[in-house]
A and B are shown apart, each in its own frame.
Chain A
């Protein structure tokens, strides 16, 4: 078990380093920051002098090393537009994004798992057919369009919910629903197919044969085994959620990191883009690590298989 955790930890470390390298090259490709720092009429000699001073003439690996050692200390540069440390800005906006992503994930899981289980148990019934059709429609809708449609119906036509901003629960309903619906659809389909598969297994037959009530067969035997693929997918989909917040936050003017990135891109504020991307990616990697730990609890076998 210790070996398994160590292995996953090593995975987390090299992936984080890899991401920081990609981020570094991305900022490097984005052009010469010296040009943005100096007035447009600066002479060639002045540009050269600043480049030398800031170390932009050094070999790339050395520059990366400097960037990485600063990043580890929490220094991700100064936002060109806001003139404050980029990391502070990102961390300030992060809770709003986490709130949105968390709410979307919560809604998705709470609705989809029961939906999928009932569909699997009553396979072929009207309930099954309609909910799977609904799931297919949900999967086929771009979430930002769903967001716009929700605004059209609940804000413009009915006037029930606010179109933008953050604060009350009413503000959270539409963005999280728009973000969570396709996940809900995906989880419902997954739950259904996993439960269907599990229900064919021998241990379920055994559980039934020994006279266990159906509710316990499903709840205790089927569900726990079905959780493993669900947890995998839910963990992976957090990346999707993080990406999804970029668009949904723009649609609903939600004050999170996603909207910050988009604004930073349009104002060519590359240090801020880099900081946001780095923070969100590291967050995603950490969530994946947590997912790996949850596996351990769900399926102790994994640690033996992986350690081999």
Chain B
């Protein structure tokens, strides 16, 4: 009985913390800018075919290497110019955003879920299970991320599914370690012990009592990780190990444009700007979230 009241108090406290977090977030100009920008990017990425219904693969050979509209020789028919095959850069960037965001979110979700499950098990059960999982984590940590991903892609072949799998697989460790730390500090709390003493199954204790209380750092981590994954995805794509053609991706647009660097600056500049803008918005949001969720820092900065 006492345990459930205690747990209630904990949940209420964590809800209040969420409210405070949101308030702190809305007071930070960086976080607001980042948040608005990020939402705008997602909204555009989802809805652009409604107001810019073009085919990203359609070639217009007469108009190839057309510069953006503001430059001499540019045309409003191709606002951001065309590539070496006369394909519209703007619509290709827009389609590229879908790949990047999809891979970013799915890989983080995959890594997050596996990391959280392993971290919960590791921290809660302790002992040999913990030892095995954490030694495995050490090995994964020591394997340089990029090398791990490219060597797996080299074997499995590149498809969007493999990409998500590989990027997710390479990234579970940070989540697992963070969660494990949280679990270790909370599993000795009275409400957990009380629940255990009345015979609640471990699974229920884990999911209902422990998990909600260790969630918040994972959200900050996940946000920042989306940015990292998007950068890695574009890098793999640049190397020719990303989502296979003809799907336009930011990384491949840069790789293809590099050949024309002397004549067509927009081919190598604009897709990179799209990546940077996306990453910047996520980083701003992530910074804001971190500051808002860290009460200690919140007090120092007041």
> Which A residues are closer than 8 A to B by beta carbons?
11, 14-15, 18-19, 22-23, 26, 29-30, 136-137, 139-142, 144-145, 148-149, 151-152, 156, 196-197, 200, 239-240, 242-244, 246-247, 250-251, 261-262, 265-266, 270, 273-274, 276-277, 280-281, 284-285, 288
Taking a contact as CB atoms closer than 8 A, the residue among B147, B275, B283 that contacts A242 in the complex is B147
Q: Tell me if A261 and B147 are in contact (CB < 8 A).
A: yes
Q: Are B238 and A239 in contact (CB under 8 A)?
A: no
Partner of B261, one of A30, A152, A244, A246: A152
Contact assessment for A261 and B150 in the assembled complex, using a CB-CB cutoff below 8 Å: yes
The 9 tightest CB contacts between A and B, nearest first, are: A243-B146, A18-B139, A145-B272, A140-B279, A140-B280, A239-B144, A265-B154, A15-B142, A30-B155
Query: Are B284 and A136 within 8 A (Cβ)?
Result: yes
- Range of interface residues on chain B? 35 or more
Which residue of B138, B151, B262, B287 is within 8 Å of A15 (Cβ)? B138
B contact face: mostly helix, strand, loop, or mixed: helix
Distance from A249 Cβ to chain B, minimum over Cβ atoms (Å): 11
Given known contacts A145-B254, A262-B239, A26 and B147 CB-to-CB distance under 8 angstroms: no
Q: Which residue of B lies closest to A284 (CB)?
A: B144
* Complex CA–CA separation, A69 to B67 (angstroms): 59
The residue from B138, B238, B276 contacting A18, defined by CB atoms under 8 A apart? B138
Contact B283 A140 (CB under 8 A): yes
Q: Which of chain A's residues has its CB closest to B224's CB?
A: A139
Q: B258 to chain A: which residues have CB within 8 Å?
A: 148, 251
A244-B146, A262-B239, A281-B142 known; A30 and B154 CB under 8 Å? yes
Distance between Cα atoms of A23 and B142 in the complex (Å): 13
Q: Which residues of B contact A281 (CB under 8 A)?
A: 142-144, 147
Complex interface: chain A residues within 8 A of B146 (CB): 240, 242-244, 246-247
| Contact A19–B142 (Cβ < 8 Å) | yes
Contacts of A285 in B (CB 8 A): 142
Can you spell out 12 A-B residue pairs with CB atoms less than 8 angstroms apart? A14-B135, A15-B139, A18-B138, A137-B276, A141-B275, A145-B276, A148-B261, A152-B268, A239-B144, A247-B239, A277-B151, A280-B147
Interface, chain B (partner A; CB < 8 A) = 135-136, 138-139, 142-148, 150-152, 154-156, 227, 231, 234-235, 238-241, 254, 258, 261-262, 265, 268-269, 272, 275-276, 279-280, 283-284, 287, 300
B280: A residues at CB distance < 8 A: 136-137, 140
Closest residue of chain A to B268 (Cβ to Cβ) is: A148
Check if A265 sits within 8 Å of B147, measured CB to CB: no
Chain B residues whose C-beta falls within 8 Å of the C-beta of A242 in the assembled complex = 144, 146-147
Q: What residues of A have a CB within 8 angstroms of the CB of B240 in the complex? A: 266
Q: List 15 additional contacts besides A137-B276, A141-B276, A152-B268; criterion CB under 8 Å.
A: A14-B135, A22-B139, A142-B275, A145-B234, A145-B254, A145-B276, A148-B261, A149-B268, A239-B142, A240-B144, A243-B145, A247-B146, A265-B150, A274-B151, A281-B144
